[in-house]
Amino acid sequence: MPATWREDLMRFAERRLPALTRYRVAEPLPIRLHARRVYILPTRFGLVFAVLLVAMLIGALNFNNNPALLFALLVAATTMISFHHNVGQLNRVELRSVSADPVHAGQPIRLRLHFHAGAGADRPALVLDQDALSHRFALTAEGDGEAVLDVPTTRRGYRGVGRFRLWTDYPFGITWSWSVLHPDARVLVYPAPEPNAPPLPTGDPRAQGSRLRFPGDDWHGLREHRPGDPPKHIAWKPSARQERLLVKEFADPQSQAVLLDWHVLPLHREARISRLTRWVIEARDRQMPFRLRLPDTELGPGHGPLFAAQCLRELALLP
C-alpha cells in the first residue's frame, strides 16, 4: 500500500509537524494510542472517490436535482463519518510488550508485539509495518492479540526494535490512518556462528589432558592396573573374569568438560567469537558439558540449553 509519494509525504510531515516527530524517540512501554497521535490521509482509491464525489455534487447542483444532491451528500457524509471510524480503529490500541526469541545474527528475528485493544469496535484489519515487512492481524474489542514480524538482523548484541507503523484502511479503504510506534525495547541477537568451523576441541582426553582430571570423585570406567594404584580401587569381580587386574577409575566432572578457550584461538576478535559460538551450539546440541573462557570471565562447566544460552548471551555482549 505505501506508495513512494506517500513516503515522501510522511517525511515531509515529520519534518513539519512536531506532533509527529515527538514520537520519533523511543518511548517506554506500554504505548497507548490516542486520537491525537493517529494520523489520517486518503488512500489512492480515496482520492479517486473524492473526485467522483465532487463530480456527483456538481452534477446534482447543475441540474438542480435535489434527490441527486441528497444522495451525493449522504454518500459524502457517510464517507466523512467513516473517517472517524478509521481513526477509531487505532484509538485506544495499546502496545504492551515486544519480545523475541534470540537468533543468531544474519537470521531474521521474530518480533512478537503484544497488543491490547481498548473499548470500541473490533479491529479486524490492522497492519503492522516495518520497512518492507508487514503483518496483518485482528483484535477484538477489549481483547489481546499478537503481531509478528520477522525482522532481519546483521549484528550481535542488543538491538532496538525500531519504529513500527500501525495502520489500517478499515472500514472502507477510502482513508488510511496510521500511528508510529517506537517502543523503548530491545531484543538480543547472538553472534553468527562460523560456517565451517573446526570440530569441537574434544580430542583424546589423555593427549590433551585438559578434559579429565584424575582422580576425581565420579565413577568413570575400568582400566588396567598400573603400579601405584590404590588397592581399594581394584575391581575384583571384573578382574576375576578378565584374568588380569582392573581398577575402577574416577574422574571429576570438571575435568570432563571441554574447554572453549578464547585465549588459545589464533584468530581476530570477531572470528574468535564466531568460532566459539559455533562450538557452544555444537556442544549444546550434543549435550556435552563445556567451559567457556572469555577475556574477562570464565563460565561453566555446564551443559544444556540454559547454560548455552547464557554463554551465547555473553558472547553476544562482548564489547
Partner 1 sequence: MTATLDRYRYAVVVALNALMLLGHVHWLPPAYATWLFALLGLSIWRARHEVRTAPAWLRLPLLFATIGLLVYTAGSPVGREGGSALLGGLIVLKLLETTQRRDARVIAAAALFFCMIGFLFGQGLTLTLYLCAVAILAFLALHVVSLDGERDWPTLRADLRRGFSLSACVAAAAIPLTIVAFVFFPRLSSPLWGAPWDATQGKTGISDRMRPGQLSSLWNDDTPAFRVTFSGPVPPPEARYWRGPVMWQFDGQEWSRTDLYRGVSPGEIRYERGSVTDYEVLMEPTERNWWFPLDFALQAPEGTRLGGDGQVTTFRPLIGPRKATFRSAWRYQLDVQPASGQRWAATQLPRTGSPRARELAAAWRERHGTDDQAVIDEALGLFRREFSYTLEPPPLGGDPVDDFLFNTKAGYCEYFASSFAFLMRAAKIPARVVTGYQGGVLNAAGGYWIVRQSDAHAWSEVWLEGRGWVRIDPTAAVAPERINRGSLAAALPEAASWYSEGWGADWRNRFDLIARYWRQAVIEFDAVRQRNLLQQVGLEDMSWQALGSGLLIFGGIGLALGAWLSLRGLGTRTSDPLLRAYRRFTDRLARAGVAREAGEGPVAFGERAATTLPRAAPAILELTRRFAEQRYGESAGDADSSHRRRLAQELRAFRVRA
Which residue blocks in 138-268 are alpha helix, DSSP H?
205-208, 236-242, 253-256
| Nearer Cβ to partner 1 (60/273) | 60
Amino acid at 292: L
- Distance in angstroms between the alpha carbons of the first and the last residue of the chain: 40
Map residues 76-105 to x or -, x wherever contact with partner 1 holds by CB under 8 A.
xxx-xxx-xx--x-----------------
Burial code (b: 16+ CB inside 10 Å, e: under 16) for 35-44 equals eebbbbebbe
Q: Could you tell me the three cell numbers for 224?
A: 588396567
Rounded to 5°, angle at Cα 303 from 298 and 308: 70
Among 42, 102, 106, 124, binds partner 1 (CB under 8 A): 124
Among 102, 120, 201, 302, binds partner 1 (CB under 8 A): 120
| Nearer Cβ to partner 1 (38/299) | 38
For the beta carbon of residue 51, count every other beta carbon within 10 angstroms.
10
| Nearer Cβ to partner 1 (49/279) | 49
Question: Please, what is the minimum distance in Å from the beta carbon of residue 261 to partner 1?
Answer: 45
Among 13, 29, 125, 200, binds partner 1 (CB under 8 A): 125
| Nearer Cβ to partner 1 (172/214) | 172
Q: Which of these ranges, 41-49, 148-156, 195-203, 288-296, lies near partner 1 under the rule CB under 8 A?
A: 41-49
Say if strands 290-293 and 298-302 run parallel, antiparallel, or are unpaired. antiparallel
Question: Please, what is the minimum distance in Å from the beta carbon of residue 302 to partner 1?
Answer: 32
Q: How far apart are CA 133 and CA 148, in angstroms?
A: 10
Among 136, 155, 213, 269, binds partner 1 (CB under 8 A): 136
Among 108, 143, 295, 305, binds partner 1 (CB under 8 A): 143
Helix (H) or strand (E) holding 144: strand 144-151
Residue 56 binds to partner 1 (criterion: CB under 8 A) = yes
Residue 193 binds to partner 1 (criterion: CB under 8 A) = no
Q: Which of these ranges, 7-15, 140-148, 268-276, 299-307, lies near partner 1 under the rule CB under 8 A?
A: 140-148
Q: Provide CB contacts within 8 A for 198, sequence distance 6+.
A: 275
Per-residue DSSP letter, 27: B
Beta strands in 13-61 (DSSP E): 31-32, 39-42
Phi (first) and psi of residue 211, to 5 degrees: -85, -40
For the beta carbon of residue 242, count every other beta carbon within 10 angstroms.
12
Of residues 170-189, which lie at the interface with partner 1 (CB under 8 A)? 170-174
Among 59, 108, 295, 305, binds partner 1 (CB under 8 A): 59
Among 121, 148, 240, 317, binds partner 1 (CB under 8 A): 121
* Positions that interact with partner 1 (CB under 8 A): 1, 45, 48-49, 52, 55-78, 80-82, 84-85, 88, 119-122, 124-125, 136, 140-144, 169-174
